[in-house]
Amino acid sequence: MKKKLTVLLYLFLLFKIAAQKNTNNKNHSPFESIKEVFYDIKEGNPPIELDHILNEPNLHLKSFSIKNIKFDREQNITESKLIKIRKGKEISNINTIYERNKKNNISRIIKESTNGEIEEISVFTYNNDHRLFEIKTYDKKNNLLKTQKNYYKYNLLIKKEVINFDKKEKVNYFFDNKGFKTEQLNFPSDKKLKSKRTYKYDKNGNEIEQVEFKQNKKTYKIISEYNKFNDLILKTYFDAEGNATKKITYSISYNSQNDWIQKIEIFNTIRTRTWAREITYF
């Protein structure tokens, strides 16, 4: 009887989380595509107008990135392309394809270069309840780069274990019964705990606090604030003694559908980075 009540409680929580997520969604038309341009002032780029960023970045910027994302009508990402320009020269051009199974879950993510050569493949497997169980990522030579295993209790995600073979490290993520990440444990190759991070959230599921510990001593804390659209607008960093060391502010512009089209990052009082988006709707 006790087990039955526990299962019913978890089902109730699942419905509650789903309802909360629906309320927090912005009321906009479905995306068809997003073009996003990013540039960093530190790389010798001057602040420029939004139209110039989106339509002719190569005329105004020395170093920047362009990301193009395509969606289907169910708002699944079907394809994305990321181009990186440094000092006027293209250094990377990667096309990412998202394949899905009959249940409409991602089965493979394939990253290709411009000549069609596969750079990286991630393979997704699911358990009997069609929940994500494992992701394996391989390089172009089919070497295993990274694995991620998910662990569930009453169909709720409680733990993720990520092993990065390239960096020789393991990271464990733990989640509460609302699906929020609450703790992160980082292990280097010698398997001894290197650092621990804890997280707290507001009622909308936005991360408002992150604290890191090393050898059981606090090293830093980050407090985050959000606007009415649940977009990050301020991050304040504190040292182990609780002194504020830096502030990062985000100035955000929106279109008529309340989707952001420009973000400007300000480090203390200096403008540092800019993101600009052009959104097409179905």
Would you give the distance in Å from CA 10 to the centre of its chain?
Answer: 26
- Supply the DSSP symbol for 30: P
State the Cα–Cα distance between residues 80 and 95, nearest whole angstrom. Answer: 6
Long-range contacts, stretch 222-231, CB < 8 angstroms, 24+ apart: 226/202, 227/252, 229/26, 229/254, 229/258, 229/260, 230/24, 230/204, 230/206, 231/260
The whole-number pLDDT of residue 5 equals 42
Query: pLDDT for 156-181, tens place per residue?
Result: 999 999 999 988 899 999 999 999 99
**CA–CA dist 41, 273 (Å, integer):** 6
> Which residues, in sequence order, are bridge partners of residue 256?
none
Tokens standing for residue 9: 């409680």
| CA dihedral (25, 26, 30, 36) positive or negative | negative
Q: What is the pLDDT of residues 180-226, one digit of tens each?
A: 999 999 998 767 899 999 999 999 999 999 999 999 899 999 999 99
Distance, in Å, from the CA atom of 208 to the CA atom of 230, rounded to the nearest integer, reads: 11
Residue with tokens 């659209």: 229
Question: Domain residue spans in the chain?
Answer: 104-188
